């Protein structure tokens, strides 16, 4: 009985770590890993990475947006360009907050009220949990900031 009481006192004082509770650094690493998985495997964010002439992805510009010779064409748009989503503060989303990112993914509007590009499937992100959006954000924040100004979209002529 005395040993059991001593064990409970040590546990209560925090001298024995609770089993199964990860450290904060591990929680952050798990969040980043989950975000990496969502970005690279589930959501198809590869549109934000330019391709090399041979069709492979340019890993030096990972998620840095489409170059000016790229883009998509539709009936409504002459050219649409994927945006730079690296943490570059000038040409990417480096000045955004986590709240800005989550709101943009849920509403389709950037912090400066720009409507997301027509190819960006933001409505499907409305069903993504805030936890998963935080994971995506955590992963994006680990990327190398790439200075890559993406051209503005060009509407089709009427």
What tens digit of pLDDT does each residue of 54-93 get? 988 888 999 999 876 677 777 777 888 899 999 999 999 9
Burial 94-103 (b: 16+ CB within 10 A, else e): bebeeeebbb
Reference 105, options 135, 139, 64, 133; nearest CA is 133
What global pTM score does this model have? 0.79
What tens digit of pLDDT does each residue of 10-41 get? 445 454 455 566 677 788 889 999 999 999 88
């Amino acid at each position: 009985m005395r040993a059991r009481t001593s064990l409970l006192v040590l546990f209560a004082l925090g001298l024995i770590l609770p089993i199964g509770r990860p450290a904060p650094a591990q929680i952050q690493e798990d969040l980043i890993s989950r975000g990496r998985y969502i970005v690279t495997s589930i959501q198809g964010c590869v549109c934000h990475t330019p391709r090399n002439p041979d069709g492979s992805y340019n890993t030096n510009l990972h998620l840095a947006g489409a170059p000016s010779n790229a883009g998509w064409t539709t009936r409504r748009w002459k050219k649409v360009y994927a945006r730079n989503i690296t943490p570059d503060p000038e040409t990417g989303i480096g000045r955004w907050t986590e709240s800005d990112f989550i709101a943009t993914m849920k509403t389709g509007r950037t912090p400066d009220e720009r409507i997301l590009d027509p190819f960006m499937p933001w409505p499907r992100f409305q069903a993504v949990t805030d936890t998963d959006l935080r994971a995506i954000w955590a992963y994006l924040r680990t990327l190398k900031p790439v200075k890559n100004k993406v051209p503005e979209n060009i509407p089709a002529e009427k």
